């Protein structure tokens, strides 16, 4: 078992850190909002640190799960950041969804040659984190990833070494491209069924047992029918991720005909006041569009 620090107790990090403790690791946590860290300790046990640096001092392996590039850099080399306390031969594992560029910057510019880094973004949503059933895309050296994998097993359904540092983030971008396209397809299918006067629940249940099946359809169509959009990954976060995808596609010179269009659709959802709705709210956008016979305000 390992001495582990976990930095960032959001919807994903909160249960992930709990799984590490349940697996027998010695876990210390830090969160920007102290109250959330205290809630975690009440629920799981473990230890709290007063800063990322102090959390890192006691750990051989430090994991981060924060929001954006700037958040990650802040918890790393802010005034009381991880790097102020990171051990000389520590392993840093980042579960945030950020740019591949910032992952490479951390490995190449911020860590010493003896310290190891794995960019390990996850897929599976909050429910996957709670259930310990996440897919994890690991980028880093073979040695660093091999060292990380027994730790990640505490909440991984599947994990793989996909390439050098930054490759984990690139693979997560592939995931987000696929997810966005599938959600839009499900939303359009449901909107079409509704307009055609079909029993939407019945039809989508049948589609979900055929070639049109997807995780999004099976797990979200009932809540979409009920106009409930508080069941997972928020539109604001998907917008952030798709902006990263678009920037990387421009850098690579890759044409992505569909993804920027869906990113614009999510901008519409934000304008509708749905930034905190979950990503299946693309159906609500279509319904609003139909009602107004024009683009949502």
- Model confidence over 10-22: pLDDT tens digits? 999 999 999 999 9
Does the 170-292 domain belong in CATH 3.40.1110.10?
no
Mean pLDDT of 277-294: 90
* pLDDT for the residue 169: 98
Dihedral pair phi/psi, residue 116, rounded to 5°:
-110, 155
Q: Which residue has the tokens 């909160």?
A: 14
> What are the residue ranges spanned by the domains of the chain?
3-164, 170-292
Supply the pLDDT for residue 231: 84
Mean pLDDT along residues 228-245: 95
Residues in the chain: 297
Does 190 score more than 90 pLDDT? yes
Mean pLDDT of 31-43: 97
- Between the alpha carbon of residue 266 and those of residues 7, 114, 213, 236, 277, the distances in Å are 29, 42, 23, 8, 10
pTM of the model: 0.94
Looking at residues 189-193, what average pLDDT do you find?
A: 98
Return the pLDDT at 292.
Answer: 82
Residue 296 has pLDDT above 60, yes or no: no
Q: Give the tokens for residue 50.
A: 């007063």
Percent of the chain predicted with pLDDT > 90:
94
50, 79 Cβ separation under 8 angstroms = no
* DSSP letter, residue 80: T
- Rounded Cα distance, 254 and 256, in Å: 6
* The two structure tokens encoding residue 279: 């990503």
Could you tell me the pLDDT band of residue 232, with boundaries at 50, 70 and 90? confident
Which architecture characterizes domain 3-164 according to CATH?
Answer: 3-Layer(aba) Sandwich (3.40)
C-alpha angle 165/166/167, rounded to 5°?
A: 95
**What pLDDT does residue 218 have?**
96
Indicate the helix (H) or strand (E) that contains 35: helix 34-44
Q: CB of 217 within 8 A of CB of 223?
A: no
Q: What is the mean pLDDT of the chain?
A: 96
Instruction: Report CA-CA distances (Å) from 16 to 125, 211, 238.
Output: 11, 33, 20
Residues tagged active-site:
172
Maximum Cα interatomic distance, the chain, rounded to a whole number of Å: 65
Question: Is residue 174 within a helix (H) or strand (E), and if so which, with residue range?
Answer: helix 167-195
Model pLDDT for residues 266-275, shown as the tens digit of each residue: 999 999 999 9
- DSSP letter, residue 214: -
Averaged pLDDT for residues 90-111: 97
Percent of the chain with pLDDT over 70: 98
Under the banding of pLDDT at 50, 70 and 90, the label for residue 293 is low
Asked if residue 130 has pLDDT above 80, the reply is: yes
Per DSSP bridges, beta strands 122-123 and 134-139 are: antiparallel
**Alpha-carbon gap, residue 220 to 190, rounded angstroms:** 11
Q: What is the pLDDT of residues 2-11, one digit of tens each?
A: 999 999 999 9
């Amino acid at each position: 078992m390992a001495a582990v620090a976990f930095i960032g107790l959001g919807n994903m990090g909160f249960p992930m850190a709990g799984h590490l403790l349940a697996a027998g690791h010695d876990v210390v946590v830090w969160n920007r909002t102290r109250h959330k860290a205290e809630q975690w300790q009440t629920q799981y046990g473990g230890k709290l640190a007063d800063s990322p640096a102090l959390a890192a001092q006691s750990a051989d392996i430090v994991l981060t799960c924060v929001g954006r590039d700037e958040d990650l850099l802040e918890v790393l080399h802010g005034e009381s950041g991880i790097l102020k306390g990171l051990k000389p031969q520590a392993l840093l594992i980042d579960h945030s969804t950020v740019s591949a560029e910032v992952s490479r910057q951390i490995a190449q510019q911020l860590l010493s040659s003896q310290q190891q880094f794995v960019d390990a973004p996850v897929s599976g949503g909050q429910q996957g984190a709670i259930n310990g059933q996440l897919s994890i895309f690991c980028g880093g050296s073979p040695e660093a990833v091999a060292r990380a994998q027994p730790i990640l097993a505490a909440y991984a359904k599947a994990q793989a070494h996909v390439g050098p540092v930054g490759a984990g983030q690139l693979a997560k971008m592939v995931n987000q491209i696929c997810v966005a396209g599938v959600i839009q397809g499900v939303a359009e299918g449901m909107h079409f069924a509704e307009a055609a006067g079909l029993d939407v629940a019945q039809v989508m249940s049948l589609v979900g047992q055929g070639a049109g099946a997807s995780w999004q359809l099976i797990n979200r169509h009932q809540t979409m029918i009920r106009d409930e959009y508080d069941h997972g990954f928020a539109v604001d976060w998907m917008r952030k991720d798709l902006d990263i995808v678009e920037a990387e596609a421009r850098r690579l010179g890759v044409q992505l005909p569909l993804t920027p269009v869906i990113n614009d659709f999510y901008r519409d959802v934000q304008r509708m006041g749905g930034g905190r709705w979950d990503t299946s709210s693309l159906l609500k956008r279509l319904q609003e569009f139909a009602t107004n016979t024009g683009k949502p305000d």
